[in-house]
Each structure stands twice: as structure tokens, then as C-alpha cells.
A = this chain, B = another copy of it.
Amino acid sequence: MPLTLGVLGAGQLGRMLALAGYPLGLRFRFLDPAPEAPAGQLAEHLAAEYTDERAWAAFADGLAAITYEFENVPVTAARALAERVPVYPPPAALEAAQDRLSEKRLFQELGLPTPACAPVATRAELEAALAALGWPAVLKTRRLGYDGKGQALLRAPADVEPAWRALAGVPLILEAFIPFERELSLLAVRGRSGETAFYPLVETHHRDGILRLSVVVPGATASADQRQAEDYAARVLRRLDYVGVLAIEFFQHNGRLLANEMAPRVHNSGHWTIEGALTSQFENHLRAVLGWPLGAAAARGPAAMLNLIGDTPAPEAVLRVPGAHLHLYGKAPRPGRKLGHLTVCAETPEALAERLAVLRPLAGFPAELQ
């Protein structure tokens, strides 16, 4: 009997999970309210709300396990489904990651340095937090933020009123603004037996809050940053009795790693692993969720990933570049929408830089990312 895996969310992450899982003999069933969701083009798709209790029975029927690819899946749905079928990563991880305050508190409890922060429910609390943290600072919604949405940078007192008007009404958090040297992302994976694997750190570059470029840090594996990041991630994995891929995003400031946020799922900063690592994050997530041995997470060599936002290049132009790989998600173009990504691999960092120079304009990169 083939194993069928249920996935909450049928976006590009779910689609890439299915593409990694079919060769392993798996079948997939997706639950996602969007009728045109990308994973629905290549697998069974129930178009229903995550909270639709009537859909749960049909969704869960005969599944070997359930995972999710969308971190704003209601925790209530994940917990209810976990009574029928094992759900990994554990719903507690989903819950922790959905609230920026509980996420930061978890990091702090486990000894991970974070940007200074304070919860904000009232205007008075905001003023007090600004006095405590200093300027600049970033006001964020505690929940449902993604790709830079739901946040405002406060550089000076004049920024406070418009930010408050835009964001107030839901629980907020104020975070110290970190003038970081760079942003780094670590992908960790933990199996059902407790086995772990860590991908090399990638340097990530965002614009307007959206990831544009990630580059495997040369020599990451042997670096002190890597050791530090793995140690931090291992603490989170253990505490949450985690199963699956976990992404942790760090600011590096004065050489020090500050944990910024985590995502309890496969992550955009790990898309380079499809061609660039010995085992992709998608395959390793599936192996973890099914209780199978994890695969090696080492990079094959220098690698980078460029997101395709709002528009996609002609396939011919990309495929002409040596070491370049095209990944389109089957989504209709729309400004600001993640439509695909390019991976580029090379034998040397110099060759990678040359290839990236050709691919950046194809990916429509703005000048400051060139």
C-alpha cells in the first residue's frame, strides 16, 4: 500500500514537497482553500478552509501523517487533526512560531540572543517600550506577519502616529532595530528518532521584506558561526520535540548571531538545496515526518538562489546559463508574488559570481541587489 501524506497548504512549498516525495513512492493530499493552489496541479487537492471540520475527515482518511507548508494554519486545526493522524512538526511548534512574542520568549528561555523587544497592547505601552529600547525600532503585529507585511520602522517620533494607526487593534511587539552586518538563515531538520542534520548557513538578502537572494556561505560548515547557529537550533529542536525542517533566521550584528524568527516548515531560504545539497530540504522534511533516516545536508559546492517576484524570465534565457536551474510554481503573475526561483551552482565561488551576474537581471533584480 502506498503511503499518502496530508499537507496543510498547497502553495509552492507543498508542490515542491510533492515533487520530492513522488520518487519516494509517496502520494499526497493537500488541503488549501485556494482553488488554483500550485500543488493542486500535480496532486489531490481538497479546496476547503483549514477550519472546516467537515473537510477534516475526508482530508485525514487513510493518511500516514500530516504536515504543513503554511505557518499560519490555525493551531486548532492542527491539534484536531493530530487526534486522527500524527501531525509533524508538532502543533506546539506551530503555535510558538505564530506569535512573535512567544517565539522570542522561547529563544530567550533557551539562551538564544535576540533583538531587545517588548509586547505592546496600548499606546502607553508603545511609548514606554520606545523609551526602553531606544530609536530606531520596529513595530510589528505579533501574528500573521509575513514577507515584511504587518510591520513599520520607527526612526523618529513622527513615525509613531501613522504606524500606530496602521497596526493598532491587534497585539503588537516592538523590537529594537538591528543595523546588522548580514542576515543568515539556518535550516535544521530533526527526525522522529531525534536524529538531526543541519544545512550550511546561507546569507539572505531581502527587499521590501521579501527574500530575493540567498547564497550559501563559503566555508560555512567549518565556521564558528555555523557551530553557534547549529547549537542554537539544536536547543529549539529538542525543546519542541521537533520533527521536520525548521528554519531559523538570524541577524549578525557585531559578529554575534541574534535569533530573529523561525519557521516550522520548509523555507524559501532552503530552495537552493534542491540541486545544491546532497539531499534537498523537501526530501529531508519528508524523511523526518515519516520516521525515515535523514539524508546528508552538505552542499555539493557553491550555490545560490534568486527569487522570481511578480514576473518570470524566458526559460531559454535561464537555461542557457551553465549551472542554472529554473523552478516555476505554476502561479499566475501578479506584482509582488513569488512565482518561482532560480538555483545556480558552480565549481568555484568565482564561477558562481559570474553566473549570478548573468542571472540577476533575468530575475529582475533591482539595482541595489545587482
**4 closest cross-chain pairs (CB), A and B:** A25-B328, A293-B320, A23-B327, A42-B42
* Chain A 285-324 interface 0/1 with B at a Cβ cutoff of 8 Å (1 = within): 0010011110110001000000000001001100110110
Chain B residues within an 8 Å CB radius of A312: 25
27 A-B contact pairs sorted by A residue (CB < 8 Å): A15-B22, A18-B42, A19-B22, A22-B41, A23-B274, A23-B325, A23-B327, A23-B328, A24-B315, A24-B328, A25-B312, A25-B315, A25-B326, A25-B328, A25-B330, A27-B41, A27-B330, A42-B43, A287-B319, A290-B315, A291-B316, A292-B316, A293-B316, A293-B320, A295-B319, A296-B323, A300-B300
* A54 CA / B293 CA spacing, docked (Å): 49
Give the complex CA separation of A291 and B43 in angstroms: 28
Do B19 and A23 touch across chains, with their CB atoms under 8 A apart?
A: yes
Residues of B contacting A300 in the complex (Cβ-Cβ under 8 angstroms): 300
Instruction: Answer yes or no: A278 CB below 8 A from chain B CBs.
Output: yes
Question: Is A11 on the interface with B (CB-CB < 8 A)?
Answer: no
Residues 33-77 of A contacting B (Cβ, < 8 Å): 41-43
Interface status of A2 (Cβ within 8 A of chain B): yes
Shortest CB distance A172–B (Å): 39
**Bound-state Cα–Cα, A296 to B22, Å:** 25
Partner of A2, one of B25, B278, B320, B330: B330
Residues of A within 8 A of B (CB): 2, 15, 18-19, 22-25, 27, 41-43, 274, 278, 287, 290-293, 295-296, 300, 312, 315-316, 319-320, 322-323, 325-330, 340
Tell me the bound Cα distance from A23 to B340 in angstroms. Answer: 9
Extra A-B contacts (16), CB below 8 Å, given A25-B329, A42-B43:
A15-B22, A18-B42, A19-B19, A23-B325, A23-B326, A25-B312, A25-B315, A25-B330, A27-B41, A42-B42, A287-B319, A290-B315, A291-B316, A293-B316, A296-B322, A300-B300
CB-based nearest B residue for A327: B23
Q: How far is the CB of A282 from chain B (nearest CB, A)?
A: 11
CB-nearest residue of chain B to A1:
B332
Q: Are A292 and B319 in contact (CB under 8 A)?
A: yes
Say whether A330 contacts B22, CB under 8 Å: yes
Across the interface, do A42 and B22 meet the contact criterion of CB distance under 8 Å? yes
Contacts of A329 in B (CB 8 A): 25
Cα–Cα, bound, A322→B293 (Å)? 10
B residues less than 8 Å from A24 (CB atoms): 315, 326, 328
Q: How far is the CA of A43 from the CA of B295 in the complex (A)?
A: 28
For A295, the chain B residues whose CB sits under 8 A away are 319
Query: How many Å from the CB of A301 to the closest CB on chain B?
Result: 10
Bound: A317/B293 CA distance, A: 9
Q: How far is the CB of A33 from chain B (nearest CB, A)?
A: 22
Which residue, A23, A287, A319, A325, has most C-beta atoms of chain B within 10 A?
A23
Q: Shortest beta-carbon distance, A187 to chain B, in Å?
A: 19
* Nearest-neighbor residue (CB-CB) of A41 within chain B: B27
Please give me the residue from chain B that is nearest to A328 by CB atom: B25
- The answer to whether residues A293 and B278 also contact, given A25-B330, A41-B27, A330-B2 and a CB cut-off of 8 A, is no
